[in-house]
């Protein structure tokens, strides 16, 4: 008898395994409790919580007063439902499921087995403002749980000239969950790198955005290179604040064959004064030469223009400083 049972045990084990696989494939009740080994702390997304200004519709087939009616949450967070049995409910902070259960419970006193469902028509209680250098700045509704990456996607992403992301949140809501966050009066403020969000290189920076957060992307400082280079344009100083002439030439993919390398110059605009012109010998810069008391590879200042002329004297003569500045203002902006 014992031998017969031992022969049956492997069969039972295989049967149990097959049953488990079928249950998971079917999405059975226990399937939701199985956590991925790669992310054991994964949880379902938090339900949307109603707030002032939200608009929702109710379907209640056994209640003419509620069926197919639209309601808006008042500024105090209340909704006054018509008819008998329901009355006023403070719905602010409730999920749709909780409100549905509350209405069902109240209707049960006068209606046998009421059937109630609720759908959001308009989200108006979770505004977030996105300002500055993004494709579509403005005020948006979060419509539930959203990360910073998701909000950036909603607004079309940062423009190339954006320098960083600044998130501002009222302290009465809570501090921003970043160790680098600071306090500014009644606000918690955090500065986050553009690339850490667009490339998700630092997952911890991809914070949850809350209602009434203010997200600002200020314009980056820019340096320009124009003339006889392979990739003329403006380069936004994003991750690196300082950039040398050699760095900029590398970004511009080097001078063209017809460039007059010994006659390049930096044009520096000075408020309320004449522009400064600093001669640059690109040959010396690219060879790493040094001269006594002279910096051949200087660090550029914001709004500096590196102009690389061509080797034809007539063409170069036509390019006045004003022309060069206008050319710089018209070029494309690239990330540095």
Angle 241-247-253 from CA coordinates, rounded to 5°: 130
Tokens found for residue 174: 């809570």
Half-sphere exposure of 133 (CA within 13 A, CB side): 19
CB 332 within 8 A of CB 233: yes
pLDDT of residue 102: 96
pLDDT of residue 318: 52
Q: Distance between CA atoms of 332 and 228, rounded to whole angstroms?
A: 15
- Is the torsion defined by CA of 89, 93, 95, 97 positive or negative? negative
Summarised one tens digit per residue, pLDDT across range 192-251 is 999 899 888 899 999 999 999 999 999 999 999 999 999 999 998 876 678 999 999 999
Q: Distance between CA atoms of 86 and 104, rounded to whole angstroms?
A: 9
Q: Distance between CA atoms of 127 and 154, rounded to whole angstroms?
A: 13
Summarised one tens digit per residue, pLDDT across range 105-125 is 999 988 888 999 999 999 889
Which domains does the chain possess?
A: 55-122 (3.30.1950.10), 127-217 (3.10.560), 222-335 (3.10.560.10)
pLDDT of residue 168: 98
Over its C-alpha atoms, the chain yields an Rg (Å, rounded) of 32
pTM of the model: 0.66
- Is the torsion defined by CA of 111, 117, 123, 128 positive or negative? positive
- Which stretches of the chain drop beneath a pLDDT of 70? 1-45, 239-240, 292-293, 313-319, 335-336
pLDDT of residue 320: 80
Which stretches within 43-166 are classed as H helix? Answer: 96-107, 148-154
CB 115 within 8 A of CB 182: no
pLDDT of residue 284: 93
Q: Distance between CA atoms of 104 and 108, rounded to whole angstroms?
A: 6
Q: What are phi and psi of 250, to 5 degrees?
A: -65, -45
DSSP 181-245: -EEETTEEEEEEEHHHHHS-S-GGGSPEE-TT-EEEEPBPPEEEEEESBSS-EEEE-SS-S--BH
Q: Is 41 helix (H, G, I), strand (E, B) or coil?
A: coil
pLDDT of residue 43: 38
């Amino acid at each position: 008898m014992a031998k017969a049972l031992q022969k049956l045990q492997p069969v039972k084990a295989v049967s149990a395994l097959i049953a488990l696989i079928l249950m998971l494939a079917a999405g059975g009740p226990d399937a939701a409790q199985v956590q991925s080994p790669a992310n054991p702390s994964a949880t379902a997304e938090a339900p949307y919580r109603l707030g002032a200004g939200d608009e929702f519709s109710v379907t209640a087939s056994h209640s003419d007063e509620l069926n197919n009616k639209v309601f808006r949450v008042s500024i105090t967070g209340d909704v006054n439902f018509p008819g008998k049995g329901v009355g006023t409910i403070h719905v602010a902070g409730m999920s749709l499921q909780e409100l549905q259960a509350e209405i069902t419970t109240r209707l049960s006193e006068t209606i046998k087995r009421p059937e109630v469902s609720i759908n959001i028509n308009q989200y108006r209680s979770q505004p977030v403002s996105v300002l500055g250098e993004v494709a579509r700045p403005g005020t948006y509704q979060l419509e539930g749980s959203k990360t910073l990456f998701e909000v950036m996607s909603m607004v079309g992403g940062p423009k190339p000239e954006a320098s960083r992301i600044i998130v501002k949140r009222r302290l009465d809501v809570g501090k921003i969950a970043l160790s680098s966050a600071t306090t500014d009066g009644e606000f918690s403020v955090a500065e986050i790198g553009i690339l850490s969000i667009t490339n998700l290189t630092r997952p911890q920076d991809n914070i949850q955005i809350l209602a009434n957060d203010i997200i600002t992307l200020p314009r980056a400082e820019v340096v320009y290179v124009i003339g006889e280079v392979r990739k003329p344009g403006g380069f936004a100083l994003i991750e690196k604040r300082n950039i040398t002439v050699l760095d900029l030439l590398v970004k511009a993919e080097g001078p063209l064959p017809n460039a007059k390398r010994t006659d390049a110059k930096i044009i520096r605009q000075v408020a309320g004064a004449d522009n400064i012109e600093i001669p640059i010998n690109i040959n010396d810069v690219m060879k790493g030469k040094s001269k006594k008391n002279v910096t051949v590879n200087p660090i550029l200042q914001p709004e500096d223009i590196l102009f690389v002329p061509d080797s034809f004297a007539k063409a170069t003569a036509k390019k006045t400083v004003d022309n060069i500045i206008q050319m710089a203002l018209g070029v494309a902006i690239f990330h540095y």
